[in-house]
Amino acid sequence: MKAFAVILMILLVLVLAVSGMLYFFGFVMSFDAPGSASDGKAWGTRFLFFLPVIFCGLMLVLSIIAFARKKYGRSALYSGSIVVLAVGLWIAAIAASFASVGNYQAQLKAEKELAKKYPAQKYLRPTSTGGTDTLIVWPTRMVAYRLYIPENKPWGGQLGDLNEARDTLIYYESRDNRIRREELDQFVDEGGRKFTDVYGVR
């Protein structure tokens, strides 16, 4: 039991080191947002993230004290509980990672099937500066726009979404929406159809 307790204490030291490094990097990155250094809630969150490190350190101290008193079973219990918890969290993280990859692949497959059934559509509007503004109806039902800006990157954003029947645009009323409702009939596809002839707007 004595050797087992020593091994568990060594593992607990490794857990403490890893959790300490993770907290350190998280602590440093938490100051990236403007004003986060003086935000009381941000400091509260930093303290909460520090609690597992404190708990690991406390368990290590208790384990060392128990070992020094030759209570090897209790020492192993203190160290082992954290080691088992850390291994459990590690396994859960790996499982979540695999699940996330699986969900992402399923999403890609679904998007490819949608792209085959509903290819992306483009509606164009010439500009006075010689460029072209574009509306894009994506297979996912999202409708986006790209506005031509001379000698600069195009200005893009989401105009809205199509309804389930894919025959009506649900227009987003937002100050960030750079294309007004009354401008939608200015966009035509390669067949000469106006956007508003193909889709209703609400």
- My answer on whether 109 and 133 are in the same domain is no
| CA dihedral (95, 96, 99, 105) positive or negative | negative
Tell the residue number behind the tokens 């100051």, with chain if given.
31
- My answer on whether 24 and 68 are in the same domain is yes
96/25 Cα distance (integer angstroms): 22
Neighbours of 25 (CB within 10 A): 10
- My answer on whether 101 and 157 are in the same domain is no
**Residue 197 in tokens:** 């002839």
- My answer on whether 132 and 40 are in the same domain is no
Q: Give the DSSP letter of residue 202.
A: -
- My answer on whether 86 and 137 are in the same domain is no
Of 92, 113, 134, which residue is a domain's last? Answer: 113
- My answer on whether 16 and 100 are in the same domain is yes
Residue 108, pLDDT > 80, answer yes
CB 159 within 8 A of CB 179: yes
Residue 173, pLDDT > 80, answer yes
Give residue 184's pLDDT: 97
- Phi and psi torsions of 140, nearest 5°: -80, 5
Give residue 137's pLDDT: 97
Counting beta carbons within 10 angstroms of the beta carbon of residue 79, is it exposed (0 to 12), middle (13 to 18) or buried (19 or more)? Answer: buried
- My answer on whether 57 and 125 are in the same domain is no
Residue 40, pLDDT > 80, answer no
CB 197 within 8 A of CB 191: no
Residue 162, pLDDT > 90, answer yes
- My answer on whether 13 and 109 are in the same domain is yes
Of 72, 93, 113, which residue is a domain's last? Answer: 113
Q: What is the mean pLDDT of the chain?
A: 90
| Mean pLDDT comparison of 11-15, 25-29, 34-38, highest-scoring range | 11-15
- My answer on whether 156 and 195 are in the same domain is yes
Residue 34, pLDDT > 80, answer no
Give residue 191's pLDDT: 94
Q: How many domains does one find in the chain?
A: 2
The pLDDT-based confidence of 90 (bands split at 50, 70, 90) is: confident
| Mean pLDDT comparison of 11-25, 32-46, 62-76, highest-scoring range | 62-76
Of 113, 137, 153, which residue is a domain's last? Answer: 113
Residue 125, pLDDT > 90, answer yes
Give residue 82's pLDDT: 86
**Residue 98 in tokens:** 């695999």
Dihedral of CA atoms 107, 113, 114, 120 in degrees, nearest 10, equals 110
Give residue 176's pLDDT: 82
Helix or strand holding residue 170 (H, E): strand 168-171
Residue 32, pLDDT > 80, answer no
What's the average model confidence in pLDDT over 74-99? 89
- My answer on whether 147 and 49 are in the same domain is no
What's the average model confidence in pLDDT over 27-41? 76
In this prediction the pTM is 0.58
- My answer on whether 125 and 155 are in the same domain is yes
Please report the DSSP string for 85-137 in residue order: HHHHHHHHHHHHHHHHHHHHHHHHHHHHHHHHHS--EEEEEE-TTS-EEEEEE
- My answer on whether 154 and 174 are in the same domain is yes
54/47 Cα distance (integer angstroms): 10
The pLDDT-based confidence of 4 (bands split at 50, 70, 90) is: confident
Give residue 21's pLDDT: 86
Residue 100, pLDDT > 80, answer yes
Range of the domain at 53: 2-113
